[in-house]
Amino acid sequence: MKLSRKVCFAIVVLIVTSEVAVWYFYSKPLVHTESFESDFDGWMADAHVPLDPNNPGHPVDWNVSRVTPLAHSGEYSTELYIDGKQDDGTVWIEKKIPVEGKSQVHVAVSFEFYSEQKSLNVIAGVCAYIGVFDPEVEDDFVVLGVANEIAGWKEYTHTATLQIGSSNEIWVAIGITVRWETEMTYNIDDVKVTIG
């Protein structure tokens, strides 16, 4: 049986498009974006804070909440609060993201960070974590910059290349770490995690 030219052409087109589709879906980076408009969408609050000598047996106050109307986009952002009067403590949001079938990934997390005021004093650091373990302590984090560098929103980015090993997941976290003895509040919005 002899295939007509039309049929041969159709077969070639089918093979080429399916190979392009396979290449596209396997090489395309995964992108997770979050603007906190309806909930935390898997982002969880966590902290590593000292005990409060003014309230024996209890850690200093800290809190993570969705607030409105302060937002970089939409109507909500995530607010991080900590009583930093002991000159110590780190508060963050963290998320576990599945990365099945990969041995190495390049991860980038970017986010908008809001400070109500600019200060020449370093009141807090903006910090982030990318890794294969659940971040639990301040030392897990790298400091990306000074929280009070400007008044208003500023974008920060942290990147890392991870060997996944036997793990099928990665963890990403972003937050603040105390540098000055005071109570403080900062906001985060428009988080984007890219996994390639």
Which residues would be at the binding site for Ca ion (CB under 5 A)? Answer: 35-36, 46, 71, 73-74, 76, 134, 136, 189
d(CA 82, CA 195): 30
Q: Which is nearer to Ca ion, 71 or 124 (CB)?
A: 71
- State the minimum distance, in angstroms, from the CB of residue 54 to Ca ion: 26
Contact 112, 188 (CB under 8 A): yes
Name the residue nearer to Ca ion (CB basis): 45 or 150: 45
Alpha carbon distance 67, 17 (integer Å): 46
Give me the least distance between CB of 58 and Ca ion, in Å please: 20
Task: Choose between 41 and 181: whose C-beta lies nearer to Ca ion.
Answer: 41
Q: What are the two backbone dihedrals, phi and then psi, of residue 193, each rounded to the nearest 5 degrees?
A: -110, 125
d(CA 111, CA 23): 29
Do residues 26 and 18 make contact, with C-beta atoms less than 8 angstroms apart? Answer: no
Q: What does DSSP say about strands 62-67 and 183-195: parallel, antiparallel, or unpaired? A: unpaired
Q: How far is the CB of 50 from Ca ion (least distance, A)?
A: 17
Report the nearest approach of Ca ion to the CB of residue 31 (Å).
17
Q: How many CB atoms lie within 10 A of CB 72?
A: 20
Min. distance of Cβ 17 from Ca ion in angstroms?
38
Measured from the CB atom, the residue of 115 and 123 that comes closer to Ca ion is 115
Q: H-helix or E-strand containing 10?
A: helix 5-27
* Assigned token pair, 195: 């996994």
Which residue, 45 or 119, is less far from Ca ion as judged by CB? 45
